[in-house]
Amino acid sequence: MPPRISLTQYLVEKQREKGLIPAELRLLLEVIARACKRIGYAVSRGAIDGVLGEAGSSNVQGEAQKKLDVIANEALLEANEWGGNLAAMASEEMDHPYTIPNRYPKGEFLLLFDPLDGSSNIDVNVSIGTIFSVLRLPEGVAEPQEAHFLQPGTKQLAAGYAVYGPSTLLVLTVGDGVACFTLDKEIGSWWLTVERMSVPEQTREFAINASNARHWHAPVKRYVDELLAGREGPRGVDFNMRWVASMVADVHRILTRGGVFMYPRDNREPDKPGKLRLLYEANPMSFLVEQAGGAATNGHQRIMEIVPAKLHERVAVFLGSKAEVERVTAYHRS
């Protein structure tokens, strides 16, 4: 059996042999991975440590926070504030960015995260995760502000997610393909277990919260109706539906065996452009999916080209196998 490759070795090779990432970015990614280890441990302790249930507070989007949302947010802040690689951090769970305190050296990167994705699945012991995205602080900026985070996804230097499921996984891109690491809990190492993830171009699987069907816009309705019609319909084949309701788990399935994931905007709140957040959910997932050969749009344009107007901006999401994303995007045009 060939020797195992650790996350550190993988990143050192990207840094040294390919010159793809600076040493500071490698160190930052290792610290994020360490924080995910800690979050995964807290998740696995569950009721034993009393971490399930509501925190009794709500975040800037008006969503009730779970205890683990708060624990995961704090784990990421604590792990990342002193390393000297970051200028500031932004999170789903914080109204405004967190600037690195003056007692620590400041670095050139900005980190964004959804500390705990799939909160509604915490208490039912279904896979949840952490999503993150790394940007560069624009040159010449001494004091990072919220506006400096408002960069299109194409500017991401790295992105990834951890899934706390049957195994704890870390899926990562630094713009040179997508790699998957599995946490060896006995010795605390992340081992490379899939060197290059790739999304098959065609698929027979789709993911959408169908309970919102009555609120969908016509292009989404048309697309899903055609999938549901199966062999007898215009597509001529049967499709299968899967919905975990944790984006990390749904996207991980797509990176593993293909499929299309949709969270469209709908008629419930016409002013709200979808449910998922652009900067720390849709952009990092789009970067990963594109790096694995898939596509990601909001129904009209490539998600990664959207210029954000707000830190907690929402966006419609269609991502996964290229042919399907192109089809549903084309239905929006016609």
What does the binding site for ligand AHG look like in residue numbers (CB under 6 A)?
A: 63, 92, 114, 117-120, 209, 245-247, 275
The Cα–Cα gap between 240 and 187 comes to 39
Give the one entry of ligand AHG, Mn ion, none that residue 120 binds, where binding means its C-beta sits below a cut-off of 5 to 8 angstroms depending on kind: ligand AHG
Q: Does 114 engage in binding with Mn ion (CB under 5 A)? A: yes
Give the one entry of Mn ion, ligand AHG, none that residue 158 binds, where binding means its C-beta sits below a cut-off of 5 to 8 angstroms depending on kind: none
Stretch near Mn ion under the rule CB under 5 A, chosen from 71-79, 84-92, 177-185, 317-325: 84-92
SS3 of 198, please?
Answer: coil
Contact yes or no for 74/67 (Cβ under 8 A): no
Nearer to ligand AHG, 63 or 143 (CB): 63
Stretch near Mn ion under the rule CB under 5 A, chosen from 7-15, 90-98, 122-130, 222-230: 90-98
Contact yes or no for 70/93 (Cβ under 8 A): yes
Nearer to ligand AHG, 268 or 300 (CB): 268
SS3 of 160, please?
Answer: strand
Q: How many residues bind Mn ion (CB under 5 A)?
A: 4
**Residue of 81, 117, 250, 324 that binds Mn ion (CB under 5 A):** 117
The Cα–Cα gap between 71 and 334 comes to 46
Cβ-closest position to Mn ion: 117
Give the max Cα distance, the chain: 66
Nearer to Mn ion, 21 or 304 (CB): 304
CB of 114 to ligand AHG, least distance (A): 5
Stretch near Mn ion under the rule CB under 5 A, chosen from 11-19, 53-61, 111-119, 203-211: 111-119
The Cα–Cα gap between 228 and 17 comes to 48
- From the list 279, 302, 241, the residue with the least C-alpha distance to 61 is 279
Nearer to Mn ion, 81 or 117 (CB): 117
Sequence-distant (≥ 6) Cβ neighbours of residue 325 within 8 angstroms: 260, 294, 295, 296, 297, 318, 319
Nearer to ligand AHG, 129 or 219 (CB): 129
The conformational region for residue 22 under phi > 0 = left, psi -120 to 50 = alpha, else beta, is: beta
Q: What radius of gyration do the chain's Cα atoms show?
A: 19
Q: Does 250 engage in binding with Mn ion (CB under 5 A)? A: no
Nearer to ligand AHG, 145 or 209 (CB): 209
